[in-house]
Amino acid sequence: MITLEDQVAIVTGAARGVGATIARTLVDAGAMVVCADIRDDAGEGTVAELGPQARFHHLDVTDEANWTNLVQAIMADYGRIDVLVNNAAILHVGTLESTPADTFRAVQDVNTTGPFLGTKAVAGPMKDAGRGSIVHVASIDGLVGLNALSAYTASKWALRGLARATALELGRSGIRVNTVCPASGNATMFAPWFEQMTEFLQQTEDYLENRAIPGGVPIQSIANAVLYLTSDASSHVTGIDIPIDGGATAGHFIPGFNTI
């Protein structure tokens, strides 16, 4: 059985959605989980549901001083950081020509610079302990491309590069760095574009159906993969990506061929 008994984990973007489910899964495995987010009210609500093994800490992942504060507070209270899950991210949907440069930069700042700063912040305590596991939540859009998602796609591909370089750099200190690449998440992330998307709902349905396992990916399956990567069950797994995509990146599916 996978256990994180006596371990301390940070999950960013844990106020809601995928991050909240990851936090609950790590709590259920026995970890003390620090849920870090910019959404203070939602974050406090999430930890209230998770119980005494969870606490909330305000964190803007783009702010290095925020990271220093967070790591200092955890080290003062618990004396260890075993796990960091870099889950916080933002989305921008828009064509290349309609995407302002500042928007592109803002997406890279949260989705890539954030995990870089987080990895940097926990590296010291993890090196001192001679152990640690860092998991980035990327996306299927970090494995392939998707039109009108250039800023987000670029940020998620960058995460996989960050994971590889840091896995090599930190491996001899007992620290592993891996990436999960889910093909679904919290639908709320798309909320600003819901109205425009209603025009082509069938196209998004077709996108989901053309997979080895049709349909969306349950959030719990993302959390389960994260749990595996954070635990000693994956003790020699580092520098890899796990697609959690129902086989979407396995190849192409032509329905008629299955009838031949």
Q: Which residues bind ligand NAD (CB under 6 A)?
A: 12-13, 15-19, 37-39, 59-62, 87-90, 110, 137, 139, 182, 184-186, 188-189
Q: Which is nearer to ligand NAD, 123 or 152 (CB)?
A: 152
Task: Say if CB 110 and CB 75 are below 8 A apart.
Answer: no
Q: CB neighbours of 175 closer than 8 A, spacing ≥ 6?
A: 123, 126, 127, 131, 132, 133, 134
Other Cβ atoms closer than 10 A to 96: 10
Least Å distance, CB 5 to ligand NAD, is: 26
Active site residue 152: yes
Which single residue is written with the structure tokens 């495995």? Answer: 29
Q: Which is nearer to ligand NAD, 18 or 167 (CB)?
A: 18
Task: Say if CB 63 and CB 70 are below 8 A apart.
Answer: no
Q: Which is nearer to ligand NAD, 128 or 212 (CB)?
A: 212
As a whole number of angstroms, the distance between CA 170 and CA 95 comes to 37
- Please list the alpha-helical segments (H only) found in the chain: 17-28, 40-50, 64-78, 101-108, 114-129, 150-170, 194-197, 201-209, 219-230
Least Å distance, CB 221 to ligand NAD, is: 12
Task: Supply the DSSP symbol for 38.
Answer: S
Q: Which two tokens stand for residue 246?
A: 């129902």
Q: Which is nearer to ligand NAD, 12 or 231 (CB)?
A: 12
Q: Which is nearer to ligand NAD, 12 or 234 (CB)?
A: 12
Instruction: Using DSSP, state whether 181 is helix, strand or coil.
Output: strand
**Chain mean position to CA 126:** 19
Please give the full DSSP string across 131-171, using - where no structure is assigned: -EEEEEE--GGGTS--TTBHHHHHHHHHHHHHHHHHHHHHG
Q: Which is nearer to ligand NAD, 8 or 225 (CB)?
A: 225
Q: CB neighbours of 238 closer than 8 A, spacing ≥ 6?
A: 167, 171, 176, 177, 178
Please tell me which residue in 78, 152, 207, 228 is annotated as part of the active site.
152
Least Å distance, CB 258 to ligand NAD, is: 27
Residues with a catalytic annotation lie at: 152
